[in-house]
Copies of this chain bind each other. A is one copy, B any other.
Amino acid sequence: MKTLFLRDNEISLKEQPVPVPCAGDALVKVNIAGICNTDLELIKGYMGFHGVPGHEFVGVVESSADEFWIGKRVCGEINYACDNCDYCRRGLERHCPNRTVMGILNQSGAFAEYLSVPLANLRLVPGNVPDKAAVFTEPLAAAFEILEQVHIQPEDSVAVVGDGKLGLLVCQVLKLSGCNLTLIGKHESKLALAASWGIAVLPRGKAEASSYNLVVEASGSPSGFDSAMELLRPRGTLILKSTYAGNLELNMAPIVIDEIQIIGSRCGRFQPALRALSNGLVNVTDLIDCVYPFDQALAAFEHASQPGTLKVLIDFNA
């Protein structure tokens, strides 16, 4: 089968045998896969990953010990848990210390014609959600994760810092809470896109300091942290969505004096995202920058790595 392979900070097309799933797994034929910023970070050496990357996909189950799944259109939760530890027992498989992670940690990913996915991780895609929307399930779930961690109230004054793909998804999800929401970004075209969804927008540097009780840092850069801190009111909450290499220099005193709360936020459950897609609560297809056939996957990565690019998809059936 055709795959995209990462080794020593380089990706290339590579022919590999179709995986043979173990008893608890299904073999899934990939329809579309999305390129995430994390994939670009992996190429730079993040997580020391080598193998087939890719963790945003939609596909069809080709074979499975459980016949229910055969022929079903699915996406897949990316954390493969042990199902036998304290975290798994508490429903926190995403934090299982024994986990592998699809295309990120010791597990082959979705930039391949086929991949093997544990049955427990499969999620049925509702019939009214097209492939080009379903492929956003994973990043959309990461946006919904914020609502699992924090109770956002309708009177909350909320800012999202960063108008990239994740920031734009986060905005759409937080808007559902009825809160007073502002997107703060650097890119005119992306701010215009958010404005077209009815979201208030401000260019970086124009937002009033100390005037938000919740700020989401989704800029993907260390400078976003300081901007986000400045915007927070005393007793405010900062949600960290960005991961990047390197350290941050931080003065802790204001965090203590103003009793600021900082919450790291990573993967979310898929079902809320799939429900939102099915119910038309969010618009993800506006986020598609372009779609490449798999044969041009390297060009797709080149395109995705240009600053300011929105979602680049790879279509295995094109």
Q: Which of A218-245 contact B (CB under 8 A)?
A: 225, 234-235, 240-245
Q: Annotate A231-274 by CB proximity to B: 1 below 8 A, 0 otherwise.
A: 00011000011111111111111111111111111100000000
Does chain B have a CB within 8 A of A87? yes
* Cα(A261)–Cα(B87), bound, Å: 17
Does chain B have a CB within 8 A of A95? yes
* Cα(A247)–Cα(B251), bound, Å: 4
Shortest Cβ distance from residue A151 to the other chain B in the assembled complex, whole angstroms: 13
Do the beta carbons of B225 and A258 come within 8 Å of each other? no
List of B residues within 8 angstroms of A95 by Cβ = 234-235, 258-259
List of B residues within 8 angstroms of A242 by Cβ = 252, 256
Does chain B have a CB within 8 A of A149? yes
- Tell me how many chains of this kind the complex includes: 2
Shortest Cβ distance from residue A312 to the other chain B in the assembled complex, whole angstroms: 23
Do the beta carbons of B247 and A247 come within 8 Å of each other? no
* Cα(A254)–Cα(B95), bound, Å: 12
Does chain B have a CB within 8 A of A92? yes
List of B residues within 8 angstroms of A249 by Cβ = 247-250
Shortest Cβ distance from residue A176 to the other chain B in the assembled complex, whole angstroms: 21
Shortest Cβ distance from residue A263 to the other chain B in the assembled complex, whole angstroms: 5
Contacting residue for A266 out of B244, B250, B259, CB 8 A: B259
List of B residues within 8 angstroms of A262 by Cβ = 255, 261-263
List of B residues within 8 angstroms of A264 by Cβ = 252, 254-261
* Cα(A241)–Cα(B257), bound, Å: 9
Shortest Cβ distance from residue A267 to the other chain B in the assembled complex, whole angstroms: 9
Q: Annotate A46-86 by CB proximity to B: 1 below 8 A, 0 otherwise.
A: 00000000000000000000000000000000000000000
Chain B residue at minimal CB-CB distance from A267: B259
Chain B residue at minimal CB-CB distance from A238: B262
Contacting residue for A241 out of B97, B245, B256, B265, CB 8 A: B256
Q: A247-B249, A248-B252, A249-B248 are in contact. Are A92 and B235 (CB under 8 A)?
A: yes
Q: Name A residues whose Cβ lies closer than 8 Å to a Cβ of B.
A: 87, 92, 95, 97, 149, 210, 225, 234-235, 240-266
